[in-house]
Structure 1
Amino acid sequence: MPGEQQNTSELTVEELLHDAAVDSTDIEVFLNALTRLAVHNLSHPGEELLCGITLLRQKKASTVASSSDRAQKLDEIQYDYADGPCLKAAREQVLVHVPDLQEDARWPEYRETVLEEGVRSILGVPIAIGSGNAAGLNLYSDEKGRFDEEAVESAQQYARQASRALSLAVRLARHRDTEADLQAALESRTTVALAIGIIMGQNRCSHEEAFDLLKSASSSRNIKLRELAADLVASADPSSAGAHFDR
């Protein structure tokens, strides 16, 4: 039955998106897969439906994924004008439907530029992801009136499915960024600690005195503390006195 087939399709889409979000180590890789899946599920046979995803993080908009170079270009035109249907959809979290760009008076300069690219209809679908972030699914077609009521509902349904996986991907990316920053900080502290130990051994001084020597050398040589520490550790030779830091 049609209803049963639709439920199976929805489940498959959600599973694919969830698995891609969990498995991906790069949010861009995941999102590119998401746009290709959107085109596959929402296009008619033989047509070129274009898809991009605008992600707003700290109020800055960028296309984090697109189904093609042309889709990427169409998204970036909006950023040039700082406004457009898909930016509005992402910023205000509202559905923005442009059945025929030729007849739409909104965004006049943007409209003329996009018409030159051959686009006639646009659909911007909000994707709610929370945590101060927002996104939009951007769909473009060279056919006017392409997004009828059924197409709009399908796109909204897909965006709802994608929102859960996209939210997960953003959280994972943030976690991985934090984890990488923490690891870098720990590595930096470890390197500094090793450098202090080397200076203590070379100069037979206290931990505090060794740290002061390291800071003084960093300042006088105009080199960051962690970089100077890394150089000292790298050049240290246990069989010799190595590079001394004189008091």
Structure 2
Amino acid sequence: MAAATPEGPGWESLPDPQDLVFDSTDVEDFLAAVTHEFMRDIDGDLRGISWAVTFFRPGSVRTAAAGSAAARAADEEQCSFADGPVLESLRAGDFVHVADVARDRRWPGYANVAADHGVRSLLSTPIMAGAGWSAALSLYASMPHSFTSEDITQMRRYVRQVARSLRMVVRVAERAEAGAQLAVAQSSMVLMDLAVTVLTSDYGLGHEAALQYLRTIARHTNQGLRETAMNIVAASRPGPAAPGQENAGVGGLISAKPPGRNEGPYKTGSTA
């Protein structure tokens, strides 16, 4: 009989697929590569323009990639404020243009800090938003009034392409996670079955009593059901043992060895 579906402390869960995208260095490398092409198309280096991509999720904001140390510093400063152009672009779902930080009065706190980093104008736009996370691109220029309508048009084209690529990455990660979750569940069920077999054959426990005993050990040791089952299987000693030494390793998982059929809460006629 198969063991019941595992529940309890320590049962492993894999990262959310969007967390994998959020934390992946491969995604950072991808963003750097495609944005480099976009910057080449608008002659960003010649015009003193750099860039940064910011990832947002509840309680966490980080600059995922940047074209220069100055752009990264300016972006991280922007993320440290409660409001700013990049956050406004995410709320509005469209680009936000600051033609001259010295004259713009919408975010005076950040404008002063941006000027200290050599930023005189900037352009922010959302790339995409998913369940619980979002991404945005910001362009930082060293001169006021640096951005043209053609820059905005090309920027929108660029973010559409990046959004499609990121969605594909999320879908692939979701499929990979589903397969990994299935593999973990299957291996965990096998371990549970083996551990229950050890407890029933070596100690005469019933199936439900053995499951209850597994859960009790998991609670007392804070190891979780999977690790507990693995330890019981590993500690089981095949073949005959010396009198009084049967499965001493299993009994060592907690202070007392598993009760026999007629002992404790598992004595004949009682329920687990």
Query: Taking structure 2 as the reference length, what is the TM-score of the superposition?
Result: 0.70
8 Å contact from structure 2 (residues 49, 139) kept in 1: yes
Q: How much does 1:60 deviate?
A: 5.3
Q: How much does 1:231 deviate?
A: 2.0
**For the structure 1 residues 236 and 55, does the alpha-carbon distance in structure 2 shift closer, same or farther, using more than 3 Å as the test?**
same
- For residue 134 of structure 2, give the secondary structure of its aligned residue in structure 1: strand
CA RMSD of aligned residues (A): 2.8
Q: Which runs of 5+ in 2 are unaligned?
A: 1-20, 252-256, 260-272
- 1:39 maps to 2:36: yes
Per-residue CA shift, 1:145-196, capped at 9, x if unaligned?
2211221211111112222112222333344444444443443333222222
The match for 2:4 is none
8 Å contact from structure 1 (residues 32, 66) kept in 2: no
Percent of matched pairs sharing the same residue: 30
The match for 1:49 is 49
8 Å contact from structure 2 (residues 70, 117) kept in 1: no
- For residue 211 of structure 1, give the secondary structure of its aligned residue in structure 2: helix
**For the structure 1 residues 171 and 64, does the alpha-carbon distance in structure 2 shift closer, same or farther, using more than 3 Å as the test?**
farther
Greater relative contact order: 1 or 2 (C-alpha under 8 angstroms, separation 6 or more)? 2
Per-residue CA shift, 1:86-110, capped at 9, x if unaligned?
1221232111011221221121111
The match for 2:147 is 147
Residue type of the alignment partner of 2:152: V
The match for 2:258 is 246
Query: Taking structure 1 as the reference length, what is the TM-score of the superposition?
Result: 0.76
Q: Distance in 2 between matches of 1:68 and 1:230?
A: 49
Q: Which runs of 5+ in 1 are unaligned?
A: 1-23
Residue pairs, 1:1-247, within 5 angstroms: 27-43=24-40, 44=43, 45-46=45-46, 49-57=49-57, 61-129=61-129, 133-239=133-239, 241-242=246-247, 243-244=250-251, 245-247=257-259
Q: Distance in 2 between matches of 1:171 and 1:56?
A: 19
Q: Between Structure 1 and Structure 2, which shows a larger proportion of helix residues?
A: 1
Which protein is bigger by CA-based radius of gyration? 2
Residue type of the alignment partner of 2:107: W
**For the structure 1 residues 32 and 105, does the alpha-carbon distance in structure 2 shift closer, same or farther, using more than 3 Å as the test?**
farther
How many residues are aligned here?
223
